[in-house]
Structure 1
């Protein structure tokens, strides 16, 4: 694909994501497959789209002095400027003259002479002048919000919940590339075999501290490797791998995964049980339940049965005390996965957190009776927010006096995590800057 067409594609995706609320990871993956892009072209397209989204508000701050006389820009023109400035300021390997030329050509093709002249003038100003100084912003919270392109309400919320140091570190981490991590399918390949095969193929790999099955890919596109294509590896963030590791699994158990799509944790559970036992996986949407079935099939796991259901109504299907283990990986605000899904921070509103909490409370209350007396119940989210995490756990325990956080939860964590700053009496909050992972929360309940 020519660089001109690639940048046209990036502009189309950014406009759709930024203006219509499309999901960046879904649209990017679809486009790369549709165009059958090479690793190099797919990497550049991903870099431009994610990088522009991650720094949208900072780029807008840089552009404002050159747009003061302009009427409201058409959305595509705004995103053309955003993506061009991102490349000029943050991508050293792409020469400015190439970025400028192709931006002007795109403006000519999509608009008219006035728009191409505007594009040329604004970008030449950006090229000639030093970047605007963030010290112009006197409010310290607004400054970090603009510097890291997070909504001000979210920075204020995190400052209040976690303090200044953690908040600033987290916001800055959310602007960085998230390393790819994968999980071996241990019934089909050992970790040492997988590592050797990857190293022999020119990949840089290291073991994860979060999971005995986890590998971190430091260099190389794992999606192109036969181990991934043949279902011997599956992509999963390290923090997500911790869930199955903390479920105290063994062969032959009956396990409920209440909100299972896309199936990463479901399949990990089955693997840890050596595919012996029963894993009932539910999702509210039939299409997503089918995704779980497809993932199980890819990994050649037969103990998983995926179905559509509202998990708040599973007592209509299963009697009380049916399951040895229950996993509720709850619907949440997703504020822990902003590195890989940067569009979330622009679409989420503070009130969404409170609406989601109602669903989390309902799910916890309706699933609890399904656990056996000597069972274990894991609650997890991919967010960083006390209202959805520690406070949800506290509320559940207040309403269910027969439950408690498992006293052995902390000692069962991987050793480096046992003294984490995110540990509380209610569970473990993982911050994205700590281990170069997604932000994540999990805890484990047992009966008193």
Structure 2
């Protein structure tokens, strides 16, 4: 038995690297799967085990601590127990004996007979006590809800304070569901109806997004970037909520737009497509290597109107005024937890406070870059009030020359008007609304 080649052994190796290097799970997993010689079915299992284990980390660790009491456990053994318990509790198609058997074999291969006996004992103890240890109910305390939804206590408290207990529970539950795969049709190449018909003709599942007129939900294709259509520039991989930003900005051909924090270029290229590749977009980002991502995406999609520059927008000295400025601000990223579950374990309240200050500075720097009558778009992929509603309220208090776009409500898709949280000139999509990313968008006009 080649343990090093099994899906569970790859999952264990990935978790170890993730923990030691504090790596981003999505990037690390992609690298690991590329190195492996696993079949697609096993690659899907590795993905499920890694994301699922990270998603449920505090719950799994709580159970492990209850089972081993105060015994010291090597980190790789803890990861192996986490993987195994995740399968017991959250997956229903894997037989108990198969979970125990392979965990014991991996422990024997990685450690010793003593370690394998320890792992076997812990897992069999869990099987006996599963009814009391593996079942959590929706109780009212922060600690109980933290274990039920596998969220850090501070985040449970933060969410509940912002949206109330019931909505907070819905958000956390949605964050534990597998994310949908959504792609954006390149309007320079084709239209959505033709694209969907073509995909369905290939035997692939594709349906229109309820959020974006350019969006398509796909399934059963694995990594969409491996599809020939991606290389040909037919589509971009982008979340539905994110697509709404450029749609609501609603640019016209010939406009001059500044995208202040543009990488990797999803919204930038979407704007260019909506402008029919006519006009100009200056795309800034502080990271030089990310500028290359924007440029390669633009080239792949057949877009020529994007000019890139590695620069912090706070240091942009030219006096040019733009028809529209998009500030997709650096944020806590809590809206993308379904795709990047490590975010909830690595963010803190103090970090959010620091981000709020950076966002304020960025807003101040771009406020003077908009023409009279022009548009300032602000967006984040998070749901904290401090980064979103309160941030925009503060900006408007300090900038009487700006006001919420009066046509904003009418420009929202009906499905978004029905489900999302909408105030004057802003929309907050929460993860449970459409099982898409949590996203905040504000559209302001300059007098």
Question: Is TM (by shorter chain) over 0.5?
Answer: yes
Counterpart for residue 331 of structure 2:
332
Taking the aligned partners of 1:4 and 1:127, their CA distance within structure 2 comes to 27
Deviation at 1:99, TM superposition (A): 2.1
Structure 2: gaps spanning 5 or more residues: none
Counterpart for residue 178 of structure 1:
179
Say whether the 8 Å CA contact 1:18–1:343 is kept in structure 2: no
Counterpart for residue 236 of structure 1:
238
Deviation at 1:95, TM superposition (A): 2.4
- Secondary structure at the aligned position of 1:374 is classed as strand
- Secondary structure at the aligned position of 2:249 is classed as coil
**Residues 84-123 of structure 1: matches in 2 within 5 Å?**
84-123=84-123
Counterpart for residue 20 of structure 1:
21
TM-score (norm 2): 0.95
Counterpart for residue 299 of structure 2:
297
Say whether the 8 Å CA contact 1:290–1:307 is kept in structure 2: no
Taking the aligned partners of 1:2 and 1:278, their CA distance within structure 2 comes to 54
Q: 1:243 to 1:38 in 2, by over 3 A?
A: farther
Give deviations 1:249-302, integer Å, cap 9, x for gaps.
Answer: 111111111111111111111111111111111111100111111111111211
Deviation at 1:434, TM superposition (A): 0.5
Structure 1 residues 417-426 or 1-10, which shifts more? Answer: 1-10
Taking the aligned partners of 1:137 and 1:214, their CA distance within structure 2 comes to 35
Counterpart for residue 440 of structure 1:
439
Q: 1:244 to 1:37 in 2, by over 3 A?
A: farther
Deviation at 1:431, TM superposition (A): 0.4
Say whether the 8 Å CA contact 1:61–1:132 is kept in structure 2: no
- Secondary structure at the aligned position of 1:78 is classed as helix
Taking the aligned partners of 1:430 and 1:366, their CA distance within structure 2 comes to 26
Counterpart for residue 246 of structure 1:
248
Counterpart for residue 45 of structure 2:
44
Structure 1 residues 179-188 or 3-12, which shifts more? Answer: 3-12
Counterpart for residue 375 of structure 2:
376
**Residues 15-414 of structure 1: matches in 2 within 5 Å?**
15-35=16-36, 37-71=38-72, 73-132=73-132, 140-221=141-222, 222-314=224-316, 316=317, 318-320=318-320, 322-414=321-413
TM-score (norm 1): 0.94
Deviation at 1:127, TM superposition (A): 2.7
Taking the aligned partners of 2:4 and 2:438, their CA distance within structure 1 comes to 34
Taking the aligned partners of 1:324 and 1:39, their CA distance within structure 2 comes to 47
Give deviations 1:276-329, integer Å, cap 9, x for gaps.
Answer: 111111111100111111111111211112220011111x1x215x21111100
Taking the aligned partners of 2:284 and 2:170, their CA distance within structure 1 comes to 36
Say whether the 8 Å CA contact 1:23–1:343 is kept in structure 2: yes
Taking the aligned partners of 1:256 and 1:180, their CA distance within structure 2 comes to 28
Taking the aligned partners of 1:138 and 1:402, their CA distance within structure 2 comes to 48
Deviation at 1:352, TM superposition (A): 0.5
Q: 1:250 to 1:435 in 2, by over 3 A?
A: same
- Secondary structure at the aligned position of 1:336 is classed as helix
- Secondary structure at the aligned position of 2:151 is classed as coil
Say whether the 8 Å CA contact 2:5–2:38 is kept in structure 1: no
Q: 1:131 to 1:264 in 2, by over 3 A?
A: farther
- Secondary structure at the aligned position of 1:94 is classed as coil
Q: 1:87 to 1:229 in 2, by over 3 A?
A: farther
Taking the aligned partners of 1:108 and 1:298, their CA distance within structure 2 comes to 48
- Secondary structure at the aligned position of 1:132 is classed as helix
Taking the aligned partners of 2:302 and 2:420, their CA distance within structure 1 comes to 38
- Secondary structure at the aligned position of 2:252 is classed as coil
Q: 1:36 to 1:263 in 2, by over 3 A?
A: farther
Structure 1: gaps spanning 5 or more residues: none
Taking the aligned partners of 2:420 and 2:266, their CA distance within structure 1 comes to 27
Taking the aligned partners of 1:57 and 1:118, their CA distance within structure 2 comes to 21
Aligned pair count reads: 444
Deviation at 1:77, TM superposition (A): 1.1
Taking the aligned partners of 1:143 and 1:413, their CA distance within structure 2 comes to 38
